[in-house]
Structure 1
């Protein structure tokens, strides 16, 4: 699979649906969760009003004419409606309710505040400090235990009532932990989604570079052959029609080969094509044919090859062919008339050493022209190798590449 196809196969992970402020995440709670999320302050006002009403119902009746009764009623109002800040300041609201509950418990006509049950849940649900949350619960547990089990009677109902302190706090704490866990999952899913997107963009950019390099190697070489042969045919058309005909035949052959290679490249890009339907990529064994084609343009070329190419990885095999092909293209473009080209290839178990040199007129790749040398260097570096392009010791130009074999086997 090409890197472009791999990029297209990347799927975006689904985003988890996680908790609201009060911990509802299941779709079964959807009718209740939406109003709470949309109007949290109104919901807290209803909770405070309900808690104040239940406190008054629990007290039964208060003599508001006395100072103690009026003070207890004021404490009940302040304590219960402090729940409006239970989300933003859970620890402070819980401390206020504990103090108010103790004071109202001392008054003979009152029996504590019902809001303490809501503050215990909010203490567990919204307090980030684990230690402070635990201490607040233990203080409330001590207060309720003294009231019900020490000052009262240790009956089963009182024991259960005291246990509700821990249960309410624990329920809120569990929902907080679950909300944090789901938040982390959502952040991780978003992170993975961003990473997949970046990786897909990298794969697409890498594939575009590879396609551009392949097209450059195919088109530049074949078009250079066709240009040289067509120029030769035009030169000798009047004096040697037979030679002109052979030159035009070479132009036709080069054009057909360019079309074949471009068709092969486009077939690779089409999804759903089986590998067995595609022709093989050229390699070291195809270099003699390439050299013969270029010789028809009048270049004098010698090819020296040592070692066996049968065990070469496909990527290395193709890279050797393309580097030689691009080097010969540069010679035809820039080396002048009648240059001598020497190609040396040494294949070992560890690497392939490739040298292409000519004795033409100066550099075969002037600065700022074309992408041939850049493409050859990219091919070598992608395989973990290196490529040098410089002037030859005796004039002309020299390309030397070393491609590792062991790390590129496929």
Structure 2
């Protein structure tokens, strides 16, 4: 899990801005240039009231630097120009914070550049006074641009990060939608197969009803059993949208009885797989289908990422009212890193649709493990 540090300006923005405004106002009011470029405390009794008021207005404007950065900068610039009439007073780092906020929070790049130009214009006016040389003004130009540029870069990085998050969320929603559609199509085919079997059995019962009543009753009992199972499948389909039907086979979908054949197929592809099947009672068709697909996808991932010499084990067991599917592999040292993709998302979606859970991740001793817990009745989540 990746952790990111969030400072006070991100955790408590309003309180932090208030503290920043007070601190910078106090600094601009009480500090002045001393000998050898040092800062010394100013005698506050000598500060004119109108200077204190101008600095207070500039400091208070910082509280609104996120919501109205351009207006904040304009207020600070006006106060800065007024303080040119004073004896050595200036807005100090209040200007720096206001200019950074313009680069950071103004959406329109042209307006942000206008704020930078206004700040440089104020420097030009300051350079016309005896209090600042043109050399200091030139250094001020560079400093002002760097502060503005830092704020702009921070904004661009946050926008790019937000865009990447939106793209990841959109991709995740697309994968989930595709998987739901695929699952709905498979369940539709299961129901279609069951209804076809019911039709055949009902026709057989009608054909022999007159000459073989016992055989007709057995056929109708099979129809009843298939009908109940089909109703369960139909309930499971509720809420899952399915697009226009496409050409599919009419045969039954795979189930747990097909897992040995699947293991034989991956064995022919070079993967050493063993299976431990401790299931004693048959499961509903939709549970078998999802279980088979989870095993299939997990073994496909082992083939894709495991590397030469990897061994896998498939365990099918019961745990109370749940069926547990456990697929582990040894994972060779040359195995490529596994990142969440369509496969893991699809397996987790299958488990969730049945009201179950799925956990997947690396093993401490090496390799990878996928554990799915599916309710035996396969109730919809």
TM-score under structure 2 normalisation?
0.51
Aligned counterpart, 1:175: 154
**Change over 3 Å in CA distance of 1:233–1:114 after alignment to 2:** closer
Residue 212 of structure 1 deviates from its aligned partner by 0.7
Aligned counterpart, 2:288: none
Structure showing greater Rg: 1
- Mapped to 1, the partners of 2:258 and 2:32 lie a distance apart of 74
The reply to whether residue 153 of structure 1 matches residue 122 of structure 2 is: no
- Mapped to 2, the partners of 1:125 and 1:43 lie a distance apart of 16
Select 2:252's aligned residue among 265, 273, 298: 265
- Mapped to 2, the partners of 1:209 and 1:81 lie a distance apart of 65
Select 1:193's aligned residue among 159, 162, 172: 172
The within-5 A match list for 1:183-332 is 183-234=162-213, 265=252, 267-268=254-255, 272=259, 274=261
| 1:265 alignment partner, SS class | coil
- Mapped to 1, the partners of 2:258 and 2:140 lie a distance apart of 68
Residue 265 of structure 1 deviates from its aligned partner by 2.7
Does the CA-based 8 Å contact 2:190-2:253 persist in structure 1? no
- Mapped to 2, the partners of 1:116 and 1:95 lie a distance apart of 10
- Deviation per CA, 1:302-324: give whole Å up to 9, x if none: xxxxxxxxxxxxxxxxxxxxxxx
| 1:231 alignment partner, SS class | coil
Residue 160 of structure 1 deviates from its aligned partner by 3.1
Does the CA-based 8 Å contact 1:104-1:111 persist in structure 2? yes
Aligned counterpart, 1:126: 105
Does the CA-based 8 Å contact 1:64-1:73 persist in structure 2? no
The within-5 A match list for 1:28-177 is 30=5, 33-56=6-29, 57-58=31-32, 61=42, 69-148=48-127, 152-155=132-135, 158-177=137-156
- Mapped to 2, the partners of 1:276 and 1:126 lie a distance apart of 58
Does the CA-based 8 Å contact 1:79-1:97 persist in structure 2? yes
User: What RMSD, in angstroms, separates the aligned Cα atoms of the two structures?
Assistant: 3.7
- Deviation per CA, 1:276-311: give whole Å up to 9, x if none: 979xxxxxxxxxxxxxxxxxxxxxxxxxxxxxxxxx
Residue 54 of structure 1 deviates from its aligned partner by 2.3
**Change over 3 Å in CA distance of 1:43–1:266 after alignment to 2:** same
**Change over 3 Å in CA distance of 1:71–1:270 after alignment to 2:** farther
| 1:128 alignment partner, SS class | coil
- Mapped to 2, the partners of 1:90 and 1:226 lie a distance apart of 82
Residue 221 of structure 1 deviates from its aligned partner by 1.1
The within-5 A match list for 1:336-351 is none
- Mapped to 1, the partners of 2:258 and 2:57 lie a distance apart of 70
- Deviation per CA, 1:249-298: give whole Å up to 9, x if none: xx99xx9xxx9xxxx836447674546979xxxxxxxxxxxxxxxxxxxx
TM-score under structure 1 normalisation?
0.48
**Change over 3 Å in CA distance of 1:52–1:46 after alignment to 2:** same
Does the CA-based 8 Å contact 1:149-1:159 persist in structure 2? no
- Mapped to 2, the partners of 1:130 and 1:105 lie a distance apart of 30
Residue 109 of structure 1 deviates from its aligned partner by 3.7
| 2:32 alignment partner, SS class | helix
| 1:58 alignment partner, SS class | strand
